[in-house]
Structure formats: structure tokens, C-alpha cells
Amino acid sequence: MTTKTEKYIESAGLVETRDPEIGNPIYRRPSFDGPPELGEMDNQIGEALRAARERQGLTRPELAPLLGLTTQVYGRYERGESKMHVTRLVHLSELLDFSPFDLLFAAAPHLWGASKEEAELRHRLMKHIEELPLDKARLLLGVVEAFLSTQRS
């Protein structure tokens, strides 16, 4: 590794880990209980996807054609067997009316905070912000920006 890479690892707080899916060491941001394995994250995304589909009252055979997929191929996403491209995530969020943040939060809540409590609080806050009408979102943005500018100075 280069010195620049080592400095980045240190400054970003990354930890070396191994994942069964990848033969070489990888670096991850630590989680509450250590970095989750990539396969476990795929499983969490699949579970959240299944829950979103069920909330809409759809079966796999009913949803798959809307994606241009067979039921078997779509089922691999829900079982965590296939990696999902971001474009597929966007398409699914359009069809099933969920925020892509919800699936990301299901897989990696540690990206929202240093503890489970902080992560859940920030996720709840994001959910409320997504539901605000435009005029209220503008007002809130002004308040948040004013708060942040006083915090920085």
C-alpha cells in the first residue's frame, strides 16, 4: 500500500476485515458490532425488499414482470443471492413506493450514526423530512442551515 492509502485508512477510521465473498483483505467503516459481512448486507436488503413488496400486497410473480424479470430472477434479490444495481434499486423504489434510504438503512444502519440509537433517530428524522410538503421543507432547510452556520462559527 502507498503512504497516501495508509493515511486515508487512518483518517477515515477504516478497519481491515475479510469477507467470504472477497479473497483479499478489505477495509470498511466499523459498525456497532463490527463491519457486517457483505452477504449479510445482501440478506438485509432482501428482507427489506420482501417487506416492501408485501406492504403493497404483491406476490413475486405479480411484481417480477413489472421489472422485466422472471419470478426466479427477482426471487434471488429477496433471498440475497444476487447483487442489486442502483438502477434496479431506483426502479423497485418507484414500483413499491419506498425510499431507497430504507433499504440502505436496513443493510448498513451504522452509516447513520455511531450507535443504534443515533442511527435510528437520524433515520426517523429523514423519514419525517421526506414526508414534508415543499413549503415546510423549505422552512426546515432554512432553520437547519442557520443552525449549522452558527455551529461552524
Condensed to tens digits (0 to 9), the pLDDT of residues 19-28 reads 777 888 889 8
**Confidence at residue 36, expressed as pLDDT on a 0 to 100 scale:** 78
- The answer, yes or no, to whether residue 102 has pLDDT greater than 70, is yes
Helix or strand (DSSP H, E) at 80? none
Q: Rg of the chain over CA atoms, in angstroms?
A: 19
Start-end ranges of CATH 1.10.260.40 in the chain?
38-112
pLDDT of residue 139 exceeding 60: yes
The average pLDDT across 146-152 equals 89
pLDDT (tens digit per residue) in 14-61: 988 887 778 888 898 888 877 778 888 899 999 999 999 999 999 999
d(CA 58, CA 115): 34
Report how far residue 55's alpha carbon sits from residue 47's, in angstroms, rounded to the nearest whole number: 12
The H helix count followed by the E strand count for the chain is 8, 2
Could you tell me the CATH superfamily of domain 38-112? lambda repressor-like DNA-binding domains (1.10.260.40)
- Residue 68 carries which DSSP code? T
